[in-house]
Amino acid sequence: MEGQRLGGRYQLQNRIGGGGMAVVYKATDLVLNRIVAVKVLRSQFGSDEDFVQRFRREAQAVASLSHPNVVSVYDVGQEDDTYFMVMEYIEGSNLKDVINERGALPVAEAVRIALQICDALDHAHQNHIIHRDIKPQNILIGTNGRVKVTDFGIARAVTSATITHTGSVLGSVHYFSPEQARGGVTAEKSDIYSLGIVLYEMVTGQLPFSGDSPITIALKHLQEPLPEPRQINPDIPQSVENIVLKALVKDPFLRYRSAKEMMLDLETCLAPERLNEEKIRFPIDDEETKVLPAITPEMMAQYKPEHQLDRRTGDEEGESAEVKSNWWTRTLIWVGTIGLFLLLAAAGVIYLLDAIEVPEVAVPPVTGTPVATAKLKIEQAELVPNVIEDYHEEEEGTVYRQEPAPPMRLKRNSEVTLYVSKGPEEVAMPRVIGEKASMVQQQLQQDKYKEVIIKEREDPEVPAGHVIEQIPAPDTQVVPTKTAVTLYVSKGKKYVKLPEVIGKQLAEARVDLLQAGLEVGEVSEEPSYEEQDPNVVLSTYPHEPGMEVATGTKINLRVSNGKYPADARIGSYVIHVDPDGEKMDIRIVRQDARGEGVVEQTIRQPQDLTLSLVLSPEKDAKIEVFKNGVLDQTHHISYENLE
């Protein structure tokens, strides 16, 4: 598809990446004249409704996010059977290429990258978006060092009632969480586990689990203990290893409760007082099932008598038979005793399990309710509420998320985390005066301001299309989702029509121009055929009367000096007219270098009329005589023949 144009404005250049579902091209936005990345759904999936819906879901998921560490989505479109999404283009490389090229990264750099990924995930989780495919290939490192999370190809918005996925397991197996591997609950903590794998790979240069097949790797995530990072790279501080271990614990309830909690831990992990902290420990499950060994033929053989008598005489044969009989008796007694012991032991274990088993209860739905009501419902369900307050769009004191959420079941007295809104967070209104209005409007919309109102007005100083004034004023504390922003945008200088000043005296022309908001530029005097009165305006330049010009523009004037040009030929011409013995109206039309002139009179007798003429080398004279309105004579006088 290289060289193809999509949507009439995106010119595809070269391919820069791709996955199983789509191909990514570097492209030029011909309308905004900028470089973008265009993700195009592979052609074989264009007719597959499932893949198309997943592709659209990606666009919707990412478009709802606005964060400096998340790749922005500009546009989504379809052209015939080609589905595409236009995204921010990041100049740089992905984290996997960096690790392959450099091996284990310096711990400080790995922590810096993980912090930015955490920040992006926290923003996504706050918007109920789970990425579900965090891996180094989906982490872009810009040339400016900025980390960008991309490829929400299998992300989806979740609600408290839809936190599981059935039918298929999506993601990359090396970065699977145990719950993803078993096809169970896929929530925010799955992203934390995947980020833990990424951090592990950054500080050690290798993956914790590998195998010959995806199934083998998935089983290792479920069953095998994690190879500790400091065994591979002893230079890793204990505080950093503790973060990796906590993110990668197999029990999701022992992991970080949120990406924000992990981010706060990362922010302080390289502080001198934390570098040698104690190694983190996790509780051991004492109720883990114990397996008793089965009775094997080898175990039976150890009870066989060490010596047997030779059967050489009849008495010896009788004694041998008696010994053999006793051996079988002893064996049956042993088997019976062991069987009875195992039966009693099994019964005892079952009894103890029944006695100590903690019943499970359903987690009640409390999202959207006041915190007091939510805590009461959790306690009534014999669970323990843990309240975490944070800024959110929900009304203050309202539970906007719970973890875990229905339809999960927990053992009685287990903890349920309630995320309670402190109300929308106020931010300082950015200063946008002097910025280009179209870019400001796009940024404010991405920052989820309630409304952006554009009002235009003329301004002689500010270029057209740039912001003159903003309401609210810069640095005002506002809540974006509740704030309407008004931008006063410059139309540039005011435009007026150049007034008609040709033929007016210079003084009058000056007044007309100043009243229109214009200025008088150069005034030059020139001889003229048309105008013999001095200081009469002959022409304006570089603009002509009636044209739209910006206020403040200087208008140059040419005015008459009261003289004819040096090459003018001035003379006279005599015309004989005869009324034919009766009263007659005579009308004479003269055309020469001065323009057109008319002489009208009534005569009763023949007479000669003398007309003055002014000719130029380019303009001869023409005289027409009308008697009672009827053309009677026509005379042509050339420049050379004028006397």
> Catalytic residues, which ones?
133
CB 148 within 8 A of CB 89: no
Q: What is the DSSP string of 165-177?
A: --S---S-GGG--
At a CB cut-off of 8 Å and minimum separation 6, what does 17 contact?
A: 23, 24
Q: Which element (helix H / strand E) includes 392?
A: none
Gap between the Cα atoms of 130 and 124, Å rounded: 7
Gap between the Cα atoms of 324 and 311, Å rounded: 12
Longest dimension (CA), the chain: 194
What pairs with residue 597 in β-bridges? 590
Which of helix, strand or coil describes residue 192? helix
Place of tokens 């009677």: 632
55 exposed, middle or buried (CB, 10 Å; 0-12, 13-18, 19+)? buried
CB 415 within 8 A of CB 386: yes
Kindly report the backbone phi and psi dihedral angles of residue 235, in degrees, each rounded to the nearest multiple of 5, phi listed first.
-75, -5
Query: How many residues in the chain?
Result: 643
> What are the E-state strand segments in 127-225?
129-130, 139-142, 147-149, 156-157
Kindly report the backbone phi and psi dihedral angles of residue 220, in degrees, each rounded to the nearest multiple of 5, phi listed first.
-65, -40
At a CB cut-off of 8 Å and minimum separation 6, what does 376 contact?
A: none
Gap between the Cα atoms of 270 and 265, Å rounded: 10
Gap between the Cα atoms of 480 and 449, Å rounded: 4
Q: Which of 55, 51, 251, 22 is nearest to 168 (CA)?
A: 51
Kindly report the backbone phi and psi dihedral angles of residue 100, in degrees, each rounded to the nearest multiple of 5, phi listed first.
-60, -35
Q: What is the DSSP string of 492-546?
A: -S-EEEPP--TTSBHHHHHHHHHHTT-EEEEEEEE--SS--STTBEEEEESS-TT
Which amino acid is it at 438?
A: S
Gap between the Cα atoms of 216 and 207, Å rounded: 14
Tokens representing 22 are 């789509």
